[in-house]
Amino acid sequence: MPCPDEGTLRAWLDDEPSAAGAGEHLAGCAGCQDAVARLRLDARTAAHAVQLLHPAVEPDAEAVEVALEHATARSRLRAAVAPAGARAAATTVLPPADGAAAATPPRRRRGTPRARLGAAAAAAALALVAVVATPAGRGAAAAFLEQFRSDRFQPIEVDPAQAEQAFEQLDQLGTVSGDLQGAQPRPVASLAEASRRVGFTVRTPAPASLPAGVGGDPEIMVSPAHEVRFTFDLAKARRSLERDGRAGVELPARFDGASLVVSIPAGVVLVYGEQDLTRPGMLVGQAGRLRVSAEGVSLGELREFLLDLPGLSDATRRQLRAIDDWRTTLPLPIPAGQVRWSRSTVNGVEALVLAQPGIGAGLLWQQDGRIYGVAGNLPVQEVRGVAERLR
Amino acid sequence: MVAPARSASPRSAPADFDELFRGRYRELYSLSHRLLGDAAEAEDVVQEVFWRLAGTTMLDRPDEEIAAWLRRVCINATYNRLRGQRRAARRLERAARLDPGGPAEDALTGVLRDERRHAVRRALAALPERQRACLLLRHSGYSYAEIAAALEIATGSVGTLLARAERTFRHNYQEHEDALS
């Protein structure tokens, strides 16, 4: 019998049944005995070392329950946040362009046709992300955010679980990359500093417009501009679809390597009040425009392609298809049956009103190339009062 | 199109989710904690893992598949966190300090233990990802089959990967040890 390979000898040390045959050979092979001695030493060193890393304290039953509560709150939040953020922009609909880009019919080209999202979701997303990213704000803000997730120029009613799945599916179809860690909102000391970081003058509510109990200096959170990129991988997508029993889905080869690039603008969020849902709290978010571009294929083609993929419900697909001017409209997935939305204006500019009865309200609008959002666990009129008096 | 199975019965999911969470939390926490050395961060990672689980169709799969998925995603999420921390070395030092060996230790034992732990994490950090995961899983008590499932490799390849990982690890680790003494 020839000498077993190193992997087999290592497995033999661990009594793996598949390597049982090596024992017989070992008895008569000095070379393999030496090899096993070395492997054993390596294994013992590693075992001893990893032993040192065992946590000194394991979580007890109560800690597990607390963690479960956090995780549940977070899942709900994620369902709310993800659709509003870039991930969902990439998943669900595609991207808008405006101005000249919108006037140009989609055509195939390489390079980066830059398209702008003419929609308001980014501010909401940033606001939500800011709170989610603040440890103190995480659990407490969950319900508060429920109503804020739902804003956008074209609300699309979805099953929240499905919006989540859409993102998970992206992972199966290619790679999602981007510096999401570095893009986390961070507190800054002053409005001047915030303005410098985001590149525009941050507006603040008039003190007299602040609802009772919401006064005081806000916490100022800034998140830097960053890019999230989804690159389609034909082979990976095929494997994934085959696994799911959908080998029949057509995947044109020319989409291999095509990318969808979502540029998320720098944003600032002013957090007023306690991060505690029993007291009034409010968020004022401001950001530049979200941009989406495609590389390798045109946005229009990529949109068609993604809309045809399995994973979206027929209802969602229908709503997305119904958007005529998709280049300037960012669809906003809202949890069906949970959030009410309506159209209104803020100082004469079109705005979306989102309300979750008993929890709070939010307003989202766009002005001068920027996206604004105000939301709180407050009545709509009070949110509006703040929104109309930003300065 | 065929709707994902889970959306057909979204109501049954939460109970399964809670049960899974309770059943797997400690295991995943320990796994993540070994690499991060920080209780709060480990908790955060595990929550992130379950948070992702809730959005997938994994809940409909058999238990072993879910477990393998959870371990894989947990390890990846832990690495992501380690990577996200630019000055990894600094980070590791902090981790070593934050990770007391237990109340009964005297100061000197504590210091030595911290140094060791620090050296272990450093040596692990220098391994290629797959090797690191393989070594960590094996010495955390996982079987070859479980490791293979978590890393999406053939069971027959575990021994080879492990042998390589342990050799490199010992080499790295002993360099640190030598430097200490």
Per CB-CB distance under 8 Å, the chain A contacts of B116 are: 49, 52
Report d(CA A46, CA B129) in Å as an integer: 16
Residue B134 falls inside a structural domain: yes
Query: Are A6 and B160 in contact (CB < 8 Å)?
Result: yes
Query: Are A70 and B47 in contact (CB < 8 Å)?
Result: yes
Q: Which of B98, B133, B163 is the last residue of a domain?
A: B98
A219: phi then psi, degrees, rounded to nearest 5: -80, 135
Residues B23 and B64 in one domain: yes
Residues B60 and B125 in one domain: no
Contact B51, B84 (CB under 8 A): no
For the record, the structure tokens of B99 come out as 């990770």
Report d(CA A333, CA A151) in Å as an integer: 8
Q: Which residue has the higher pLDDT, A153 or A192?
A: A192
Q: Which parts of A52-198 are beta strand (E)?
A: 114-116, 154-158, 174-178, 186-188
Residue B105 falls inside a structural domain: no
Per CB-CB distance under 8 Å, the chain B contacts of A73 are: none
For the record, the structure tokens of A265 come out as 């603008």
pLDDT confidence of residue B6? 34
Please say if the pLDDT value at position A152 is more than 90. no
Query: Are B160 and A10 in contact (CB < 8 Å)?
Result: yes
pLDDT confidence of residue B117? 82
CATH number of the domain within which B173 lies:
1.10.10.10
Q: From the candidates A8, A9, A10, which should be mutated to test the interface with B, based on the most B CB atoms within 10 A?
A: A10
Residues B76 and B23 in one domain: yes
Q: Name which of A10, A64, A79 is nearest B163 (Cβ-Cβ).
A: A10
Q: Give the range of the structural domain holding residue B18, as residue numbers without chain letter.
A: 12-98
CATH number of the domain within which B79 lies:
1.10.1740
**pLDDT tens per residue across all 181 residues of chain B:** 333 333 333 334 455 778 889 999 999 999 998 888 778 888 888 988 887 787 677 777 888 889 999 998 998 888 877 765 544 445 444 544 444 443 334 445 556 667 788 888 888 888 888 899 999 999 988 999 999 998 989 999 999 999 999 999 999 888 766 665 5
Q: Name which of B29, B159, B169 is nearest A11 (Cβ-Cβ).
A: B159
pLDDT confidence of residue B174? 85
pLDDT confidence of residue B160? 96
Per CB-CB distance under 8 Å, the chain B contacts of A167 are: 55
Query: Are B39 and A165 in contact (CB < 8 Å)?
Result: no
Residues B164 and B89 in one domain: no
Residues B63 and B28 in one domain: yes
Please say if the pLDDT value at position A372 is more than 70. yes
pLDDT confidence of residue B155? 92
Per CB-CB distance under 8 Å, the chain A contacts of B177 are: none
Residues B127 and B166 in one domain: yes
Q: Which residues of B13-23 are buried (b: 16+ CB within 10 A; e: fewer)?
A: eeeebeebbee
Per CB-CB distance under 8 Å, the chain A contacts of B20 are: none
Q: Which residue has the higher pLDDT, A341 or B132?
A: B132
Report d(CA A311, CA A168) in Å as an integer: 10
Q: Name which of B2, B144, B173 is nearest A49 (Cβ-Cβ).
A: B173
Count: domains in chain B: 2
Q: What are the pLDDT digits (tens) for A226-272?
A: 777 878 888 888 887 787 777 777 778 888 888 877 777 788 888 88
Report d(CA A66, CA A187) in Å as an integer: 27
Going by pLDDT thresholds of 50, 70 and 90, the confidence category of residue A36 is: very high
Q: From the candidates B115, B130, B170, which should be mutated to test the interface with A, based on the most A CB atoms within 10 A?
A: B170
Query: Are B144 and A64 in contact (CB < 8 Å)?
Result: no
Residues B70 and B120 in one domain: no
Q: Which of B71, B98, B125 is the last residue of a domain?
A: B98
- Nearest C-alpha neighbor of B51 from the set A172, A72, A59: A72
Residue B117 falls inside a structural domain: yes
Q: Which residue has the higher pLDDT, A193 or B55?
A: A193
Q: Write a three-state SS string for B53-120.
A: HCCCCHHHCCHHHHHHHHHHHHHHHHHHHHHHCCCHHHHHHHHHHHCCCCCCCCHHHHHHHHHHHHHH
Report d(CA B30, CA B43) in Å as an integer: 9
Residues B68 and B142 in one domain: no
Residue B7 falls inside a structural domain: no
Report d(CA B164, CA A43) in Å as an integer: 10
- Nearest C-alpha neighbor of A262 from the set A334, A173, A332, A178: A178
**Mean pLDDT score, A292-314:** 73
Q: Which residues of A261-300 are buried (b: 16+ CB within 10 A; e: fewer)?
A: bbbbbbbbbbbbbbbebeebbbbbbbbbbbbbbbbbbbbb
pLDDT confidence of residue A52? 86
Going by pLDDT thresholds of 50, 70 and 90, the confidence category of residue A74 is: low
For the record, the structure tokens of A67 come out as 């963690």
Residues B82 and B20 in one domain: yes
Residues 6+ away with beta carbon under 8 Å from B21: A64, A67, A68, A71, B50
Residues B138 and B172 in one domain: yes
Report d(CA A358, CA A374) in Å as an integer: 17
Q: Which residue has the higher pLDDT, A193 or A152?
A: A193
Mean pLDDT, chain A, whole residue set? 69
Q: From the candidates B48, B56, B140, B142, which should be mutated to test the interface with A, based on the most A CB atoms within 10 A?
A: B56
A108: phi then psi, degrees, rounded to nearest 5: -75, 135
Which range of A12-26, A101-115, A297-311 scores highest in mean pLDDT? It is A12-26
Residue B32 falls inside a structural domain: yes
Residue B123 falls inside a structural domain: yes
pLDDT confidence of residue B1? 34
Residue B4 falls inside a structural domain: no
Query: Are A57 and B84 in contact (CB < 8 Å)?
Result: no
* Dihedral sign from CA coordinates of A128, A132, A134, A137: positive
Q: Which of B68, B98, B128 is the last residue of a domain?
A: B98
Q: Indicate if ipTM > 0.85.
A: no
Residues B16 and B90 in one domain: yes
Q: What are the pLDDT digits (tens) for A105-147?
A: 222 222 222 222 222 233 333 334 333 333 333 332 332 222 2
Residue B1 falls inside a structural domain: no
Contact A203, A286 (CB under 8 A): yes
**Mean pLDDT score, A24-41:** 92
Query: Are A161 and B6 in contact (CB < 8 Å)?
Result: yes
Contact A214, A264 (CB under 8 A): no
Q: A206 CA to chain B: closest CA distance, Å? A: 37
Residues B134 and B164 in one domain: yes
pLDDT confidence of residue A133? 36
DSSP character string of A272-288: EE-S-TTS-EEEEEEE-
Closest residue of B to A46, CA-based? B166
pLDDT confidence of residue A329? 60
